[in-house]
Amino acid sequence: MFTSRLFWKPFVYFSALIVLVGFIGGYTTSQWQKEQLTDQLKQRLRNTAISLEDVTKRSLLSGEFEDLQQVIQDIRTLTTTRITVVALDGVVYADTHKNPNKMENHANRDELIQALRNREGDSQRYSDTLNISMLYYAFRIQHQGRTLGCVRCALSTSQIDIQVASIQARIAELVFIVVITGLIVTGLVIFRMTRPVVRLIEEARELTTVQLGQTIGHGFDDEISELGRLLNELSSALADRMAQLEQNHHELLTVLEGMDEGVIAVDKNECIRFANEAVCEMFSLDLVEDQGRPIWEVIRNQMVQAIINQAKKTNAHFRGEIELLGPPTRYLALNASAIPTEDEDDFGVIIVIHDITEVRRLENLRRDFVANVSHELKTPLASIQAYAETLIDGAIEDQNNNRTFLGRIVEQSERLNMLIQDLLSIARVESNTGINEYSTVDVSDVLDRCIKYHQPRAGKKKIEINVCASNDVMIYADTEGIRQILDNLVDNAIKYTPESGTVNVGLVIHDKQVVLKVQDSGIGISEKHLQRIFERFYRVDKARSRELGGTGLGLSIVKHLVNAFDGEIDVTSILDQGTTFIVKLPLLEGMQTAVSVS
């Protein structure tokens, strides 16, 4: 009980309140007692001052103060009261404790100022004359409307302090007793109030370890009794819910057994009983809202309804495939099977859904690749066959044209060989074979050899190649792969740049990356083609590409090689102004960062 927060929280609050009230009450009572004693002392001084009014008036009028001095000395002997007679200008004429002639002017004393203004005044302060704390009372002396001076009476406040200290000690004792008693009573009351609640909490906690549905006995006839009854009702409700959850658990185990894809289960009325997260994501379902609704209201697809009906009718597996329009478009394979329900004549259905979008995409890529390869191979083969047949039919004897035909055959053979080499290259890159001979590569050296190789062809078209490259740009990669990247980019720049154009090649180090920039002043690429130029066999202008001898695989090879080297490639282009390719590759560890590329 005494470790319960339910007990200690109210106990601490009430204890703090009791202590605060006791302190405030004691302090207030002490101050009130002090004020009462001060008022009594004030009244005593007032009575003394008023009793001296007549004798003081006579002395002030006559200027003789011997009789007055004797009278106030007698009063001092009987009452220990200090009496002072002060003229209007502050001069002291008589005093019970000091020689008036040696006393300073009293015109600035607060009680005298108040008395001259309001007939009477008082103050409490430290007396420099007697070196003690005094309570002063002054009374104005008048004669026929004219102020003559003041008579002032004073007593030491030490008596008040002694009495107040005594009273405060008694009040403190009383407050201590009251606080201790209050704490004890508060603890007992809170204990009796919280003990039944704590007991119910402990018994409710025990419900989690024993069989649900049992009732808890209680012997209270108040709100605690009502809480006990509610706890019994909660126990029964939990027992029912746990039974339902247990049943749902077994159903779910049956539905999900052996399933690793999207799963949705419907009952005999085709209402959704369960759907996993994969199905909810595929069909944008909200299981909380859609559970219990007919599946044809939620998934409006004729194939889903058809396979459910087929599975229910045949009591066997049924397969189907649907297409979900995007974006992006998705292809789903459905496998439905019936499950028995409580009514043996009706069946529920489990549908297992496989996302085969990637499979379909790969199939389409394979089909497109085969079609493109077949088409690309067919073109040079057809030319070779045509020229060869022409030669066989007699053109070989034609001295004017036979060498031309043979040159065409050689040209198409070279094109065919180049296409096959590109196909082999992209196959090796995609399978990660042939690019596993990694070593330290000086990109600037590879670039220099690449430029020398392409310089003659650029010279024929009067294309100026400008190179700005840092020395000793080292990366960890495959030398042949770097050569292919440079060859393809520079070859395309020269190929698609008209005569008298320019090709700018930059190689710098920036942010621990090697940045290769190939910029031409060629025909450019429109925005709609930029996203597809890295696809295999994709050409912006097919007729022009075939005329220039392109295979449509160069940029695809570059893309795969850059990715294989953990790099990035980007392209920007403006029609009729030129195209810029930027390749970023990781710099070999230990090299310093150079100027960034613009």
**Which tens digits make up the pLDDT trace of 161-213?**
777 788 778 888 888 888 888 888 888 887 777 777 776 676 666 666 655 55
Query: Residue 598: is its pLDDT beyond 50?
Result: no
Quick one: which of 516, 534, 517 has its CA closest to 525?
534
Beta strands in 406-463 (DSSP E): 439-442
Residue 488: Cβ-neighbour burial (10 angstroms; 0-12, 13-18, 19+): buried
Which of 7-11, 23-27, 254-258, 363-367 shows the lowest mean pLDDT across its residues?
Answer: 254-258
Report the DSSP beta bridge partners of residue 468.
Answer: 506
Number of neighbours of residue 443 by Cβ within 10 angstroms: 26
**pLDDT at residue 519, rounded to an integer:** 92
Taking only Cα atoms into account, the Rg of the chain, rounded to an integer number of angstroms, comes to 56
Please give the angle made by the CA atoms of 547, 552 and 557, to the nearest 5 degrees.
Answer: 140
Cα–Cα distances in Å, from 370 out to 357, 376, 377, 433?
20, 10, 10, 21
d(CA 391, CA 410): 14
Q: How confident is the model at residue 27 (pLDDT cuts 50, 70, 90)?
A: confident
The angle that helices 53-62 and 5-51 make with each other, rounded to 10 degrees, is: 50
Mean predicted confidence (pLDDT) in 64-90: 83
Task: Give the dihedral sign, CA 223/224/226/227.
Answer: positive
Q: Which of 116-125, 227-236, 381-390, 538-547 has the highest mean pLDDT?
A: 116-125
Instruction: Decide the pairing of beta strands 120-127 and 132-143.
Output: antiparallel
Q: Which of 4-8, 137-141, 592-596 has the highest mean pLDDT?
A: 137-141
> Contact, 322 vs 334, CB < 8 A?
yes
Instruction: Decide the pairing of beta strands 568-574 and 578-586.
Output: antiparallel
52-156 maps to CATH 3.30.450.20: yes
Measured in residues, the chain has a length of 598
Q: pLDDT above 70 covers what percent of the chain? A: 83
Query: Residue 354: is its pLDDT beyond 80?
Result: yes
What is the fold of 360-428? Helix Hairpins (1.10.287)
Exposure on the CB side of residue 36, measured as CA atoms within 13 A: 9
d(CA 313, CA 318): 10
**pLDDT at residue 435, rounded to an integer:** 55
Direct distance between the N- and C-terminal alpha carbons of the chain, in angstroms, rounded to an integer = 76
Q: pLDDT above 90 covers what percent of the chain? A: 5
Q: What's the chain's average pLDDT?
A: 79
> Contact, 11 vs 190, CB < 8 A?
yes
Rounded to two decimals, the pTM is 0.43
Query: Residue 219: is its pLDDT beyond 60?
Result: no
Higher pLDDT, 466 or 308: 466
> Contact, 477 vs 438, CB < 8 A?
yes
Task: Give the dihedral sign, CA 473/474/477/481.
Answer: positive
CATH code assigned to 258-355: 3.30.450.20
> Contact, 552 vs 546, CB < 8 A?
no
Instruction: Decide the pairing of beta strands 347-355 and 578-586.
Output: unpaired
The DSSP call for residue 328 is: S
Quick one: which of 109, 119, 54, 42 has its CA closest to 81?
42
Query: Residue 316: is its pLDDT beyond 60?
Result: yes
pLDDT in tens, 433-448: 555 577 888 988 999 9
In degrees and rounded to multiples of 5, residue 518 shows phi and psi of -120, 115
d(CA 89, CA 99): 18
Q: How confident is the model at residue 580 (pLDDT cuts 50, 70, 90)?
A: very high
d(CA 541, CA 539): 5
**pLDDT at residue 594, rounded to an integer:** 39
Q: How confident is the model at residue 78 (pLDDT cuts 50, 70, 90)?
A: confident
Quick one: which of 520, 461, 452, 467 has its CA closest to 492?
520
Do the two domains 258-355 and 437-586 of this chain adopt the same fold?
no
Q: Which two tokens stand for residue 39?
A: 């008022």
d(CA 149, CA 576): 117
Please give the angle made by the CA atoms of 284, 290 and 296, to the nearest 5 degrees.
Answer: 80
pLDDT in tens, 82-91: 888 988 888 8
The DSSP call for residue 271 is: B
The DSSP call for residue 294 is: B
**pLDDT at residue 216, rounded to an integer:** 55
**pLDDT at residue 234, rounded to an integer:** 74
**pLDDT at residue 253, rounded to an integer:** 61
Omega of the bond leading into 100 within 30 degrees of 0 (cis): no
Higher pLDDT, 485 or 372: 485
**pLDDT at residue 596, rounded to an integer:** 35
Residue 219 one-letter amino acid: G
> Contact, 79 vs 103, CB < 8 A?
no
Omega of the bond leading into 498 within 30 degrees of 0 (cis): no
Where exactly are the structural domains of the chain? 52-156, 207-254, 258-355, 360-428, 437-586
**Helices within 257-301 (DSSP H only):** 277-283, 287-290, 295-298
Residue 475 one-letter amino acid: I
CATH code assigned to 437-586: 3.30.565.10
d(CA 141, CA 88): 9
